[in-house]
Amino acid sequence: MSAAELEALRRHFRDPSSECDVGPGWRSLVLRCHEAVVAEFPEYELRAVKQKFAALAFQASPRPWKQGGDWTQGEADRLRTLVAGFTAASERTCERCGEAGTLRETRWIELTLCAACESVVGRDGRLRPPAQRSRKRGSGHVVTGSPNAE
């Protein structure tokens, strides 16, 4: 997800300081979800983009909320259906790398990960390890670092 693409999505956050709180493997899912939603609801409002129970939670409303409501049940249902497709896809996508993943219940937090990422994500469940240069060529043995080597 490029900065410009991210910016297009972030404009929809109710709270402009919100961030997309998902791992890098889901960024393109989030972007495609945004594109699907914005195509039908150009003014949709985002409350949060995060991981919930190992699935993508793209919490949006058809448009900015107003007293008394500002959208029909049909619109709300349509939005929910659009988002549900991406939530379902996230349940099969590694949140860390974007490869095929499955539900992992080996930590305090449930995550959807592929086998390779399951083996490197630490017990704290953080998907972004401290900046580490794996596969640095020509400088000796830089092996993929232990996830616990913080």
Contacts with Zn ion by CB under 5 A lie at: 94, 96-97, 99, 114, 117
Least CB distance to Zn ion at residue 110 (A): 15
Least CB distance to Zn ion at residue 23 (A): 9
Contact between 29 and 89 (Cβ < 8 Å): yes
By beta-carbon proximity to Zn ion, the closer residue of 9 and 117 is 117
The Cα 33–Cα 59 span in angstroms is 11
By beta-carbon proximity to Zn ion, the closer residue of 6 and 116 is 116
Question: Residue 113 class from Cβ within 10 Å (0-12 exposed, 13-18 middle, 19+ buried)?
Answer: buried
By beta-carbon proximity to Zn ion, the closer residue of 8 and 89 is 89
